[in-house]
Amino acid sequence: MARHAARTVAQYALVLFAAITVNFLLPRLAPGDAVDYLLPPEQVGTISADQRAQLLGQFGLDKPATTQFVDYLAGIATGDLLVSVRYGRPVREVLAERVGWTALLVGGSVVLSTVIGAWLGFRSAWSRGTVRDTGTLSGVMVLDSIPPFFLGIVLLVVFSVNLDWFPAFGALPTVDASGLALVTEVLQRLTLPLVTLTASSVGPMYLVARSALVGELQEDYVLMAEAKGLRPSRVRHHAQRNALLPVSTVSLIGLGTLVGGATVVETVFSYPGLGRLIYESVLARDYPVLQGAFLLLIVGVILANLVNDLLYPLLDPRVRRAPRARS
């Protein structure tokens, strides 16, 4: 068990290293001069050769690639992630301001979509082939096919612009508030983005829960549970206990997709999270921040995968190895 955990951690450390390397190489492989990425677009053509050299020196880009890579790794290790072109502040500070909002949005969405998806999926599986099942299935597929930004815009127009139930953007109130008032304001601003993101991520959870339970219901132990006289609710419990395994896996592994959705949703609602930051950084060509945010998201996703791999054996007595290793 401990050996397995150690190996899993080592594997993910390797994955993390690969991701960091890609992150390092990306701007260097991209077409054009590094300076193009370090200056606001309108200034690129205007600087002299001296300024150019100075700029390269300032960012250590005149050193050999290997040295740059070592410096880069050292920077990550110490949390020193260059300086934002747009804000003129350390990237670390910029990220720190934003990461909490994304964690709130994505975390809330993971919980909600897992609970709702599993509940609907299990209900469908129990009544497989009936009108209720087909109806839910089609409904969820429709919901899943609406692009999150489109759903966001529609909700925004209806509930913010026309009905004025929720503020249209931001995460914090514009006037000072504290205590309960602050919490209410924050929740109000969180509601629409959270609903949008949850609605667009409930589909995969539902499908996994449904097919997992359909599979479990074919197992002989369900028949046995019925044959030994258990109440229907207990029989259900037996099957659902096992069907929850893939659901938990997908809920953690699907975090990557959710983070992607968050990027778009945060943009629609001007929600000040990492996704919105990425979008702004792309527009402002603030590549240090872009790299930093990307790195942070990758670390988050890899951690979620790691947690899944370590958690799975505890949930399922059958496996010593995580399911991803078997696939």
Partner 1 sequence: MTAVDAPALPEARARRARHGRQGLGALGWTGVAMLAVVVLGAVFAPALARHDPDVTSGLPFASPGGSHPLGTDDLGRDLFAQLLFGARVSLFIGVAAAVIAVTVGVTVALIAGYYRGAVETVLMRTVDLMLAFPFIVLVVVFAAFFGRGLFTTIVVIGGVIWARPARVLRAQVIKVREFDHVLAAASMGASGARVISRHVLPRIAPLVAVQFVRAANVAVLIEASLAFLGLGDPGRESWGTTLYFAQARNAFLTDSWAWWVLPPGLGLTMAILGFAFLGYAIEEWADPRLERARVRRRATRRPSPKRPPNPARRQGGDMATAADRTEPLALEVRGLSVHYASADGPVRAVQDVSLSVARTQVVGLVGESGSGKTTLVMGLLGLLRPPGRLRSGTVHLNGRDLGFPRRSEIAAARGRDIALVPQSAMNALNPAYTVLAQVAEAAALTMDGRAATAKARDLLSSVGITADRHRAFPHELSGGMRQRAVIAMALVNDPVVLVADEPVTGLDVVTQARILRLLLEVRERYRIGMLLISHDLPLVARVADELVVMYAGRVVESGPTALITAEPAHPYTRLLLDAFPTLRGPRRALVAIGGEPPDLAHLSRGCSFEPRCPVAVAECPQRLPDLYDQGDGRRAACLLRELRERS
The least distance separating partner 1 from the CB of residue 151, rounded to whole angstroms, comes to 8
Q: Which three-class secondary structure state does DSSP give residue 321?
A: coil
* Whole-angstrom distance, CA of residue 137 vs CA of residue 140: 5
The Cα 279–Cα 294 span in angstroms is 11
Q: Which is nearer to partner 1, 189 or 285 (CB)?
A: 285
With respect to partner 1, which residue has the nearer C-beta, 90 or 323?
A: 323
CB of 19 to partner 1, least distance (A): 8
Output the smallest distance, CB 199 to partner 1, in A. Answer: 12
Nearer to partner 1, 53 or 279 (CB): 279
Q: Which of 305, 102, 108 is nearest to 199 (CA)?
A: 108
- Residue 27 contacts residue 37 (beta carbons within 8 Å): yes
Q: Which CB sits closer to partner 1, 166 or 287?
A: 287
Q: Which is nearer to partner 1, 157 or 187 (CB)?
A: 157
Residue placing its CB nearer to partner 1 in the complex, 83 or 225 = 225
Q: How far is the CB of 200 from partner 1 (least distance, A)?
A: 9
CB of 44 or CB of 153, closer to partner 1: 153
Give 281: exposed, middle or buried? Use CB within 10 Å, 0-12, 13-18, 19+.
buried
Instruction: For the CB of residue 224, give the shortest distance to partner 1 in the complex, in Å.
Output: 4
Q: How far is the CB of 276 from partner 1 (least distance, A)?
A: 10
Q: What torsion, rounded to 10 degrees, do the Cα atoms 296, 301, 307, 313 define?
A: -160
Closest to partner 1 by CB, 74 or 158: 158
Please state the closest distance from residue 68 (CB atom) to partner 1, in A.
Answer: 17
CB 229 to partner 1: min, Å: 2
Question: In whole angstroms, what is the distance from residue 121 CA to residue 212 CA?
Answer: 9
The region, left, alpha or beta by phi > 0 then psi within -120 to 50, assigned to residue 236 is: alpha
DSSP H helices, the chain, are: 2-29, 34-38, 41-44, 49-58, 65-78, 91-126, 131-145, 148-155, 179-217, 220-227, 232-253, 255-268, 274-284, 287-315, 323-326
Determine phi and psi for 257, rounding to 5 degrees.
-60, -40
Rounded Cα distance, 245 and 247, in Å: 5
